[in-house]
Structure 1
Amino acid sequence: MTKPVNLNRYRKARARADKARQADINRVTFGSPKALREAQKAREEQAARALEGHRREGGDGEGDN
């Protein structure tokens, strides 16, 4: 005869795993300090300005025919 299975144990284990997964997502989303977020934003804006500065004039994508 087989051993009885406690379904509550599996249900609770699944709930703990779901909470751990959500905690990992929240750590990535909300975990960085304000100074780091602002520094990253400044780097991204600087890179965007540098890229914009290298654009050619008349950027319609057509040649001078």
Structure 2
Amino acid sequence: MGEIVNLKQAKKRQARAQATAEAAANRAKHGRTAAEKANDRRAEARRQALLDGARQGPEACAEDG
């Protein structure tokens, strides 16, 4: 014979497991410290400044005046 299972408890157990998995995914997706975010913003600004300084062509001259 099979094992007797309480469906109410099984559903609750499944919901808890799903909520735990979703929480772990959200922590991985959004769980960055303010320092990490600031560091990424500084790196992006540095990269943009480097690219803007290396611009050549008529677009760059038009921006200057």
TM-score (ref. length: structure 1):
0.59
Displaced runs of 4 or more, over 6 A: none
- What's the counterpart of residue 62 of structure 1? none
Q: What percentage of residue pairs aligned between the two structures are identical?
A: 29
Could you tell me which runs of 5 or more consecutive residues in structure 1 were left unpaired when the two chains were aligned.
60-65
The number of equivalent residue pairs is 58
Q: CA deviation at 1:43?
A: 0.6
Q: 1:36 to 1:3 in 2, by over 3 A?
A: closer
More helix by share: 2
Please, what is the CA RMSD of the aligned residues?
Answer: 2.2
Name 2:25's counterpart in structure 1: 25
